[in-house]
Amino acid sequence: MKFVLTIGNTETAKIDGISAAGANPDLMVHTPSADAEILTYGEPVETPVVPVSPTGCPTPAVISRAVRECLEFETVVVDAGAASQTSAPSVEMPGPAGNDVREEVAVPEAEAKFESARAYGQALPDDEIVVAETIPGGTTTALGVLTALGERTDVSSSLPENPLELKRDVVSEALDASGLEPGDAAGDPLEAVAAAGDPVLTTVAGLTVGALESGTEVTLGGGTQMSAAAALVRHYGVTESFSQFTTSFIAADESSDVQELAADLDLDLTATDPEFAETDHPAMDAYVRGEAKEGVGMGGALGLAAESDVEMAAVRERVVAVYDRLLADVPEEHPAAEHAGTAAE
């Protein structure tokens, strides 16, 4: 089993109010690179930032890394188009980061990324992969893809109050810019992703198609972004079964259609509850309050933990350890610093 984290950026994340995957838009560009380093090394290595939301919720990479430390699974980072270089070892897809979806082309070289990811997915010797993502603004591009394909469009959010109206407005502009009506790209996933998606969605879809073609079991670890990736795979014509692991926080989010989408797309959906309310700690409290919910394969990692003989209490203990390690060296001016004290108490 290999845990494949796909990282990338889209300029869409810079639209005010779209994403909480970073303390502010300047730091947000580094979130995927930092997440990759946290998953790989247990802390950011050369990316000078610990991703936190504007309210201080630490990146879900903390949770995925904690599970990795408990289960010792192998990870690979696939760079679908990150705007900031990562020091995590990564497999490079061709082409740049994604544009603002309101431009005519949201994903330059979408087909090259898809085919490169597909070849890599075919070539991986593993029996099973879990595919994860980190891309700020990714639920908006997921909405874009689902809309272009004519699928259900209620996506989740890393923010406690889902700005769905804003996302719909952005997606409407995105489709206009590409001359598409909702549903026009049905059966043409590369058109949908190029017009209104992001580099991570096309890469996750390519990885999934390639892996399934070579007989590898695939689990998409994530929320409605993974629903959109799965929709791309189905619209490509793939009928093989594959699965989705997400968190109980996504499953409980009434603003999102993750369960209905899984049913529509014939995905076997599992939502895992890490019982964060059992532990009073700033690494976990924000999730209980409804923030973040998913990302960096958190639901995938928790699903693997639930399948293993590791207790969820042990995972939570490890989450605290990873969080404290991450925030121990945060400089005082860092947005996470005010929470560092809480962690040490």
Is 236 one of the binding residues for its own copies (CB under 8 A)? no
Structure tokens that stand for 88 in this block: 């995590």
Site string for its own copies, 42-71 (x = CB under 8 A): xx-xx-------------------------
Q: Binding to its own copies by residue 84, rule CB under 8 A?
A: no
Q: Does 92 bind its own copies (CB under 8 A)?
A: yes
Q: Are 51 and 34 in contact (CB under 8 A)?
A: yes
- 255 counts as binding its own copies under rule CB under 8 A: no
Instruction: From 38-46, 104-112, 211-219, 280-288, give the range in contact with its own copies by CB under 8 A.
Output: 38-46
- Indicate which single residue of 90, 178, 203, 243 sits in contact with its own copies (rule: CB under 8 A): 90
Judged by CB under 8 A, does residue 321 bind its own copies?
no
Question: How far is Cα 313 from Cα 277, in angstroms, rounded to an integer?
Answer: 11
Whether residue 62 contacts residue 38, with contact meaning beta carbons closer than 8 Å, is answered with yes
In which element (H, E) is residue 63 found? helix 61-71
CB of 232 within 8 A of CB of 205? yes
Judged by CB under 8 A, the stretch of 36-44, 251-259, 278-286, 306-314 that binds its own copies is 36-44
What one-character-per-residue DSSP string does 9-54 give? -BGGGGSTTS--SSSSHHHHTTHHHHHHHHHHHSS-SSS----B-T
- Cβ at position 43, least distance to its own copies in Å: 6
Q: How many residues bind its own copies (CB under 8 A)?
A: 21
Q: Is 119 in the site for its own copies (CB under 8 A)?
A: yes
| Options 83-91, 179-187, 218-226, 276-284: segment touching its own copies (CB under 8 A) | 83-91
Task: Report how far apart, in Å, the C-alpha atoms of 213 and of each of 120, 132, 233, 238 are.
Answer: 11, 19, 12, 9
Task: Note whether 11 and 323 are within 8 A (CB).
Answer: no
Q: Decide whether 3 or 249 has the Cβ nearer to its own copies.
A: 3
Q: Choose the binding region for its own copies from 88-96, 194-202, 216-224, 233-241 (rule: CB under 8 A).
A: 88-96
* CA of residue 283 relative to chain centroid, distance: 18
Residues forming the site for its own copies (CB under 8 A): 41-43, 45-46, 72, 76-78, 85, 87-92, 119-120, 123-125
